[in-house]
């Protein structure tokens, strides 16, 4: 659906990792990009807009957690995903 795709395997800490904060941020970023593209087409889809806002908030919480644990990991993930912060 989206032209921007993120290779989620790059963010896994080990094979089969789906719970680490870095992986969760990458997954949420991919979902946010897909939903943003959807909302550009369907501007009156308010239910999806609410879901997008919740996902952005959850990603922010994960990023705050990563920043509290390691400033270097935070800067690296921001750069790799192209997020502005």
The tens digit of pLDDT for each residue in 38-75 reads 999 999 999 999 999 999 999 999 999 999 999 999 99
Looking at the domain that runs over 19-81, which CATH code has it been given?
1.10.287.10
Cα distances (Å, whole numbers) of residue 50 to 35, 53, 59: 11, 5, 14
Cα distances (Å, whole numbers) of residue 81 to 22, 45, 55, 72: 10, 26, 16, 14
The verdict on pTM exceeding 0.85 is yes
Give the Cα separation of 42 and 51 in Å (integer).
14
The confidence band for 3, taking pLDDT boundaries of 50, 70 and 90, is: low
pLDDT of residue 5: 86
Domain parsing of the chain, residue ranges: 19-81
pLDDT of residue 39: 97
């Amino acid at each position: 659906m989206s032209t921007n795709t993120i290779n989620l395997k790059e963010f896994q800490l080990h094979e089969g990792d789906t719970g680490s904060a870095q992986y969760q941020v990458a997954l949420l970023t991919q979902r946010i990009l897909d939903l943003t593209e959807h909302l550009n087409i369907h501007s009156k889809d308010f239910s999806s807009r609410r879901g997008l806002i919740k996902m952005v908030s959850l990603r922010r919480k994960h990023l705050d957690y990563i920043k509290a644990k390691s400033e270097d990991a935070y800067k690296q993930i921001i750069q790799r995903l192209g997020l502005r912060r």
